[in-house]
Amino acid sequence: MKKKLVAVMMTAAMTAGMLAGCGSKNAAEPQSTKTSDTDSAAEDTTSEGAGGTEQSAETAGEAVTLKIFSNLPDRKNGQGLVEQMIIDEYMAENPNVTIEVEALDEEAYKTKFKAYSMDGMPDVVSIWGQPSFLDEVLEAGVLAELNEDDYADYGFIAGSLEGFKKDGKLYGLPRNTDIQIIYYNQKMFEDNGWEVPSTYEEYITLCQTIKDAGITPVAMDGGDGWPMACYLTDILVKVAGTDYADIVSNAVASGDFTAPEIKEATQLLVQAAEAGVFQTGYDTQDYGTAQNLFTNGQAAMFAMGSWECSMALNEDIPEEIRTNIRAFTLPPMADGKGGANDIAAWNGGGYAVSANSEIKEEAIKFLNYMYQPDKLSKYGWENGVGMSAQDQSSFMTGNETELQKQVVDILKNATSVSGTPINDCGPSAFKTAIESEIQSVSNGTESIDDFLAAIGAACK
Amino acid sequence: MKKMYSNKLVIFSLVLPGLLVFLFAILAPICLSVYYGFTDYSGMGEAVWVGLENYKTLAHDTKFFISLKNSLLLAIGFILIQHPIAIVVAAVLDKLQGKAEGFFRCVYFIPNVISVAVIAYLWKFIYNPDFGLLNNVLKAFGYQGQINWLSADNAIWAVLVVLIWHGFGWGMLIYYTGIKNIDPVLYEAAAIDGADSKTTFIRITLPLMVPVIQVNVTMAIISALKQMETVYLLTGGGPGDRTQFAANYLYQQAFKAFRYGYGNAIGVVFIIICLVVTVLLNQVIFRQRED
């Protein structure tokens, strides 16, 4: 009997504990609920005073909590640092605004983005202006429409907003212009008497020479799939030239990837991998491992996007290597349609405002603040994170790193720009398929025909 | 007090919390999974009913079968490699006595304590062809080549080694507890009869351990089927789909390819497979016990 009594009491205690647990969770909540209450109050006042929205928010000085969901978890380097700088500045200028940042890396970000889309998105979010990401997102209607006329004098590069539009309406703004480039270690090149190749054939011969010297020619992040797909895009641009976009969009639309240009580009990728252009085991190594090979001087080149320009300023990289990083674009082929200045480049990442945000006005205000030409674009430039999607020529000080200047020249001299890389041109099922299959085809476990058939099937 | 216990309302109120947890945390999600398995839901927007379409696709999905095959391979690896070693090690540990026993018990269990993420990255570095431990050891022995431990042909074996190594301590600990529960009088009697340690292991330890082995094998098979996190972090199923496992494939389809409906269909088939395996195992074990 006593035992039973103890058991009953324990059960009661446990239930009470559980309730208390729930209670404490609720107790932690008020902070956010409270702010959202004031948020909606702020919105009410703003909607009343139709024209003077900004004023009413500012003069009232009501506490506003702006939630930002970002795909840049590293807040101390590169783009994450730039984003954080602007956020800190904005909070200093608007004491009533508190900005909460939640940052996850790309894959985790995209997964949580979906979850958020079902039960309330943070106010400002990172997005990608590419079909593989944006098509489904816009279909679900979770992003707020922006007024394109507002950005007339923001200096956006012509065409850079296109990926962020649907039916002529603008839903987001691009953050970067990304160029697929090959970084190389200039000192290593000079010490060994290697020269920057001017044709694709020379490039392959050079890789062979480097390999014979016992050094990895090109560090490749093959484990993630997308960097290799960007590299394939680059090859395809050199094969097909300005026809690239049409060939890819036709292939995605029909699910038929047997176009001779795509076939040839894939073949060149496979041949390069077979010849040992990439490090051993590239097909399972991740971003960091591949990059480390290059930044530790174990690899002569590193195929990656222009966002890695900040390597030249990253003090975690040994100075001898950091100061010697230079870049070139994949050189043209003897029988290819793409010239040296037809480059693989696109406007990928960017920001948008949630359609269901309770403080939409405030969120758009912050978005516009971020995109003022002297913010995202200028800070990005000063921190060497590559190029923004806005005109940056006025920020040139002459003190830029050599790498930065080179990349600027690459873009300035470009005669054509490819647009979205191949893996992002289709639905996300296609993206997943090509990023996995490209490992199999490059390491020779799958034939080129099977590869093309498999990625085609994923489009249907 | 007795009166209170016979009061149906009291019984009901005591059972209710558990029932609610089961209903909302287990049963409802499974039902939702079954529902979404019949739709083309992408995780956002509208879910359109497509009937058995997902299941038809799944029946022809070679990747799903590769991942099932890999799960089977892992289960076999667990049963034929991990568990025999675990039993022997547990028996040896039991014989060690004193400080050494505690020390080695701890050492063998350490991999289980370390987070899966750390384990995966640790092995990523061990396997790295350029600066990894394995190739450097080989180099120290004069081997000049560079072995790609995670190549298309080797990857599945490399992953199996990690998984078998990682789960080893857990299995061993359960066997060890089982052995500790064997009455020492039996060993004393055997010693008096002149049996050596090999004979006592085969004649006494093993037969008395059968129930523990059955439980452990069941758990091993289920954990092989459910394997996801180590593979996800170590190879992500690659290169290609060479190290794909069912749970990882489900994740990839649902959350990377955003074929949420299809992912749920995989989930449903997966639940059925797990149930069938558990029922079959129980039957086999039950029959054996009856004999």
Return the residue of B nearest to A279 by Cα. B130
Chain pair A-B, CB pairs under 8 angstroms:
108
Asked if residue B171 is part of any domain, the answer here is yes
| DSSP characters over A319-357 | HHHHTTEEEEPPPPPTT-S--TTEE-EE--EEEEEBTT-
Q: Is B214 on the interface with A (CB under 8 A)?
A: no
What is the per-residue pLDDT for A107? 80
Chain A from 200 to 229: CB within 8 A of any B CB: 216, 222-225
Å from A113 to nearest chain B CA?
10
With an 8 Å Cβ cutoff, are A432 and B253 in contact? Answer: yes
- Dihedral sign from CA coordinates of A191, A193, A195, A200: negative
- Set of chain B residues whose Cβ sits within 8 Å of the Cβ of A11: 14
Total number of domains in chain B: 1
Q: Which of residues 357-416 of A touch B (CB under 8 A)?
A: none
Buried b (16+ CB within 10 A) or exposed e, B61-78: bebbebbbebbebbbebb
Q: Do A280 and B257 make contact, defined as CB atoms within 8 angstroms? A: no
* Cβ-defined contact of B239 to A222 (cutoff 8 Å): yes
Long-range contacts of A257-262 (CB under 8 A, 24+ apart): A257/A452, A257/A453, A257/A455, A257/A456, A258/A449, A258/A452, A258/A456, A261/A236, A262/A236, A262/A452
* Mean of per-residue pLDDT scores for chain B: 90
C-alpha B165/C-alpha B82 separation (Å) is: 8
Residues A439 and A225 sit within 8 Å (Cβ to Cβ): yes
Contact call for A280 and B148, based on CB within 8 A: yes
A390: which DSSP letter?
B
Domain that holds residue B266: 61-290
B90: left (phi over 0), alpha (psi -120 to 50) or beta: alpha
For position B239, what pLDDT does the model report?
93
The CATH number of whichever domain residue B125 belongs to comes to 1.10.3720.10
Contact A440 B124 (CB under 8 A): no
The answer to whether the CB atoms of A281 and B129 lie below 8 A apart is yes
Q: Is residue B238 part of a domain?
A: yes
SS3 A417: strand
B263 in contact with A at a CB cutoff of 8 Å? Answer: no
Q: Which of A1, A224, A280 sits opposite B129 (nearest CB)?
A: A280
- Please check whether residue A272 is in contact with residue A201, taking contact to mean a CB–CB distance below 8 angstroms: no
Which residue has better confidence, A8 or B90? B90
Cross-chain residue pair A431–B42, CB shorter than 8 Å: no
Residue B33 forms part of a structural domain: no
The more confidently predicted of residues B18 and A136 is B18
Q: What does each C-alpha distance from A331 to A75, A218, A221 come to in angstroms?
A: 35, 14, 20
Residue B169: inside a domain: yes
Answer yes or no: are the C-beta atoms of A97 and A397 closer than 8 Å. no
Residues 6+ apart with CB under 8 A from A140: A117, B44, B45
- A55: tokens are 């004023």
Chain A from 124 to 183: CB within 8 A of any B CB = 136-137, 139-142
A192 inside 8 A of chain B by CB: no
How far out from the chain centre does Cα B248 lie? 13
Instruction: Tell whether B128 is covered by a domain.
Output: yes
- pLDDT for residue A49: 37
Give the least confident one: A14-23, B106-115, B231-240: A14-23
CB B245 within 8 A of CB B74: yes
Per CB-CB distance under 8 Å, the chain B contacts of A117 are: 43-44
Low-confidence ranges of chain A (pLDDT < 50): 1, 14-59
In a domain, residue B129? The reply is yes
Count of residues in chain B: 291
Residues in chain A with CB shorter than 8 Å from the CB of B245 are none
Cα of A436 to nearest chain B Cα, Å: 5
Q: Which of residues 98-117 of A touch B (CB under 8 A)?
A: 107, 110-111, 114, 117
- List of chain B residues whose C-beta atoms are within 8 Å of the C-beta of residue A1: 1
Q: Is residue B46 part of a domain?
A: no
Distance from CA of A52 to the nearest CA of B (A): 35
* pTM beyond 0.80, yes or no: yes
In single-letter form, the type of residue at position A282 comes to Y
In the three-class reduction of DSSP (H, G, I as helix; E, B as strand; rest coil), residue A67 is classed as strand
A458 neighbourhood in chain B, CB within 8 Å: 257
ipTM value: 0.86
Query: Is B49 strand, coil or helix?
Result: strand
Enumerate the residues of chain A whose CB falls inside 8 A of the CB of residue B127. 281
Cβ of residue B111 closer than 8 Å to a chain A Cβ: no
All structural domains of chain A: 64-174+348-388 (3.40.190.10), 178-346+401-457 (3.40.190.10)
Pairwise pLDDT comparison (A35 vs B249), residue with the higher score: B249
Q: What are B114-169's pLDDT values in tens digits?
A: 999 999 999 999 999 988 999 999 999 998 888 999 999 999 999 999 999 999 99
A216 membership: H or E segment, kind and range: strand A216-219
Inter-chain CB proximity B238 and A436 less than 8 Å = yes
Are residues B253 and B263 in contact, defined by beta-carbon separation less than 8 angstroms?
Answer: yes
Neighboring chain A residues of B151 at a CB cutoff of 8 Å: 281, 283, 443
pLDDT computed for residue B99 by the predictor? 87
Domain assignment present for B142: yes
* A387: closest CA of chain B, how far (Å): 28
